[in-house]
Amino acid sequence: MKTIQDEIILFKQLLDMLEKQLGNNTEVVLLDLTKEYGSMIVDIRNGHITGRKIGGTGSNMGLEVLAGTVKNGNRYNYITKSKDNKILRSSTLYIRDDEENVIGCLCINTDITESVKFEAFLKEFNQYNFDSGELESPEIFAQDVNQVLEFLIQEGQKLVGKPAAVMSKNEKIQFLKYLNDKGAFLITKSGEKIQEIMGISKYTMYNYLDMIKKGDLEE
């Protein structure tokens, strides 16, 4: 297999089966990761779970795999939240071509919001930390790429502990390293937005990124 389209009939049959088996509370998504990031979804069932549709955007996790910072992106049975605070139990399987290059992924997102209300009985089944409220993995299911970029920027600022505009040089480099590792620069025109919130020039940003690439970071 060289492209998702080579086996599209098989993939659609697989989505048919999963949709029938798992019901209306489970979203099943097929993404072609060779397409532009904002239009990777080639098939989706029960898109009301995350508000997405065919031709829409993948989650931020795919960026890390495409950027090469995550080598084996397959993850099963992890907990996250949708933009409207649905609690989701999710799995992600990356699809590779004959040369082992990542070309797509299959994602399953089951809405367990109602079931977690039965905390005492279902806590073990859902594998969710009710006491801390912390998510296993920060993931956003966006309707457009700008939402994904905004999410990554916010997460980067949380990591550093202050707004990008008031960061020191080393903190800005740390912030840029986080965004680079998460694949933010794969999003079209993301550099302009990042330069703006950091209050730096294009030249300075790329100078910092070159330092990150070379590992020439100040202590």
Range with top average pLDDT, 23-27, 85-89, 98-102: 23-27
Between CA 205 and CA 173 the distance in angstroms is 9
Question: Average pLDDT for residues 202-210, to the nearest whole number?
Answer: 93
The structure's pTM equals 0.68
Q: Are the C-beta atoms of residues 169 and 205 closer than 8 Å to each other?
A: no
- Tokens encoding 177: 């390293």
Phi, psi of 65 (to 5 degrees): -70, -45
DSSP 8-state secondary structure symbol assigned to residue 38? G
Q: Where are the domains of the chain?
A: 4-142, 148-214
Question: Average pLDDT for residues 169-183, to the nearest whole number?
Answer: 93
Span 68-82, pLDDT tens digits: 777 777 999 999 888
Looking at every residue in the chain, the average pLDDT score rounds to 87
Q: Which whole-number Å values give the CA distances from 114 to 26, 87, 110, 118, 217, in the listed order?
A: 13, 9, 11, 8, 47
Q: Which whole-number Å values give the CA distances from 5 to 26, 56, 70, 169, in the listed order?
A: 24, 17, 25, 46
Name the band, by pLDDT with cuts 50, 70 and 90, for residue 131. low
pLDDT at 58: 81
Q: What is the CATH number of domain 4-142?
A: 3.30.450.20
